[in-house]
Amino acid sequence: MEHAPRIAMLSVHTSPLDQPGTGDAGGMNVYVLELSRALAARGARVEIFTRATSSDLPETVVLPGAEADGTPLSDDVDHERVREILTAHDVPAGMRPPVLVHHVPAGPFERLDKNDLPGVLCGMAAGVLRWEAARRPGWYDVVHSHYWLSGQVGRIAADRWEVPLVHTAHTLAKVKNAALAPGDDPEPAARVLGEEQVVQEADALVASTPAEAAELVELYGADPARVHVVEPGVDLERFAPVDDDERAASRAALGLPADRDVVLFAGRVQPLKAPDVLVRALGVLRESGRPVPLLVVLGGPSGRSTAVRELQALAEITGVGDSLLIRPPAARDELVTWYHAADVVAMPSRSESFGLVAAEAQAAGVPVVAAAVGGLRSIVDDGVSGVLVRGHDPKRWADVLADVLADRERLSSYSAAARRSAERFGWESAADQLLKVYAVARERGSR
């Protein structure tokens, strides 16, 4: 391949432009967005395909931050110039290719439940194929799909274009079903079958941690030679530590009390993320007469529209309604302020393939108390940068939170170690490794 790779990035069920923390938007959105930018910085041409959820969405959006001939490309970019760039055989010298997000009409213009999306995958695949047909044969060099729904579309596109399929699962149904919260619905059999199909047909599978790589091999029969571990990155410039004065300023800016411990949960409000465990832990602390920290939940409902109201009701029933503060998901620049305002970030998830919130919090110098599951075991250095908690017993969580918050020297030590731990994550490194995976996949496909 003489030119920089042209990558069709598929994110069917959620757009990288969506706000993480509500609905189906989460760490995967950040992953696709930041990885695409890092790949573009290395000369790759990345086009992201996602399902259009409104007739008002533009056909194509140019991501802010791309540069051409030293001139920033903003929302008022000359799209004709972008089209010229994309239809050229090579990116002109000195030009950093823009990252494009294509909104593909498939099914009704509305947000659908993930369980309803298999019915629109044929339309999605047809829409993706039209983009290549509008250019010339052989335009794309690789298809990189994210989540199993994208993998199903990717199978069709990669076969039609005779290019390799690289797939990142992000979450796996068999893993989630083995760690269901009480009363939570299991992932449907159709998803399990769909994941099995993608795993068998992908030329390369990208896992975020060695644990996820092992799950692909053990639970899905993946060929170990096709599984590559590439750790996601963290924006180490945005998520950086601050001193005590700046932490105090962050609290003041957010209207948080200066004299009370603050525990932050940032993520979707759903059984899988288990914010209810934290609310119940507050109840245990109250009953035992120990100090009750302020729990800030930064996120929106996912799965059930009533999820946030149910969490607030649980707090009232438990007697800690005045110790729970629920706020909507925050944009990236505001999110770092919330991290700085917290004493600890808590992640009681029942399953996490990686756990981007934990990595971001640690980069910001904030200790993390997390469930000892999935990728969280790779991010949090137990007893060094935070604490890993086995199980989801509220009493155990209450004891850990109380012990950590009561020991300021320990918190300070965790904070320093947290930043050092996070510095091994970088999007630049992730992009470099992915380019190697693409090359390996292309070689495998040419045999």
- Residues 44-73 have pLDDT tens digits of 989 999 999 888 888 888 876 544 433 334
Q: Which residues contact 301 (CB under 8 A, 6 or more apart)?
A: 22, 23, 268, 269, 270, 307, 308
Q: What is the mean pLDDT of residues 76-93?
A: 51
Sketch out the chain's domains with CATH numbers.
6-233+426-445 (3.40.50.2000), 244-422 (3.40.50.2000)
How far is it, in rounded angstroms, from Cα 378 to Cα 389?
Answer: 13
- Residues 195-246 have pLDDT tens digits of 999 999 999 999 999 999 999 999 999 999 999 999 999 999 999 999 999 9
Q: Which residues contact 374 (CB under 8 A, 6 or more apart)?
A: 175, 209, 211, 212, 349, 351, 352, 353, 354, 355
Binding residues: 13, 19-20, 24-29, 114, 147, 171, 191, 268, 273, 339-340, 342, 352, 360
- The two tokens of residue 387 are 């604490």
Q: What is the mean pLDDT of residues 387-414?
A: 96
Binding residues for Mg(2+): 339-340, 342
Q: What number of other Cβ atoms are within 10 A of residue 319's Cβ? A: 13
Binding residues for UDP-N-acetyl-alpha-D-glucosamine: 19-20, 27, 268, 273, 352, 360
Q: How many CA atoms lie within 13 A of 56 on its CB side?
A: 1
Q: What is the pTM (predicted TM-score) of this model?
A: 0.88
Q: Which residues contact 153 (CB under 8 A, 6 or more apart)?
A: 10, 12, 49, 121, 124, 125, 128, 145
Q: Which of 315, 325, 310 is nearest to 281 (CA)?
A: 315
Binding residues for 1D-myo-inositol 3-phosphate: 13, 24-29, 114, 147, 171, 191
- Residues 96-144 have pLDDT tens digits of 678 889 999 988 888 777 788 888 999 999 999 998 877 767 889 999 9
